[in-house]
A = this chain, B = another copy of it.
Amino acid sequence: MGFEYICKKKNKDCMFSKACEYGIRASIFIATKSSEGVRVGIKDVAKEIDSPEPFTAKIMQILTKSGIIHSAKGVGGGFEVSNQALRSIKLIQIVDAIDGDSIYKGCGIGLKECSEVHPCPVHNQFKKIRELLLTMLTTTTLEELALGVNSGDFHLKIFSQNK
């Protein structure tokens, strides 16, 4: 009937863009390795988080430019997070660098801006959700996420072993 292509987003699991999802997963993986003092190349990153390698490479460029991840070219090079950065980097920095701040600042139903003095009908409801999201993003560190993965309690892809 001509509108099937609108319905039901293909980019499932929205909230963040694919680019941002890859960026978060990659950062966490790099963090797990950096905590063990190991640099990783883009190939390993993509394999470990199950993402398209060239696209992931592009995203890494954003993260290195943003100073979130450090990179080194040449033999023995790769990506790493400094021990100090590991503790200080918050999830919000990654999201900000890739998707910007619209997810926690923009109006939930697309008004050009979200404002208290000219609120949309869902403003009050949305505000609570965005505030919870913002709090989560600003308080969660790369380190705690990496620790969870290192401990084996949390995972960066499905079918870790056999795929």
CB contact list, A104-158 vs B, under 8 A: 106-114, 118-123, 125-126, 128-129, 132-133, 136, 140, 145-146, 148-149, 153-158
Cβ–Cβ < 8 Å partners of A123 in chain B: 154
> A interface, how many residues as a size bin?
35 or more
Q: Which residues of B contact A89 (CB under 8 A)?
A: none
Which of B91, B102, B118, B128 interacts with A12 by CB under 8 Å? Answer: B102
Whether the pair B110, A22 counts as a contact (CB closer than 8 A) is yes
- Chain B residues whose CB sits within 8 angstroms of the CB of A111 once the complex forms: 13, 155-158
Cβ proximity bits A1-37 to B, threshold 8 Å, 1 near / 0 not: 1110011110011111111011011001000000000
- The yes or no answer to A58 lying at the interface (CB within 8 A) is yes
B6, B15, B98: the one within 8 Å of A103 (CB):
B15
- For the complex, is A97 an interface residue (Cβ under 8 Å from B)? yes
Interface positions of A (Cβ within 8 A of B): 1-3, 6-9, 12-19, 21-22, 24-25, 28, 58-59, 61-62, 65, 91, 97-100, 102-103, 106-114, 118-123, 125-126, 128-129, 132-133, 136, 140, 145-146, 148-149, 153-158
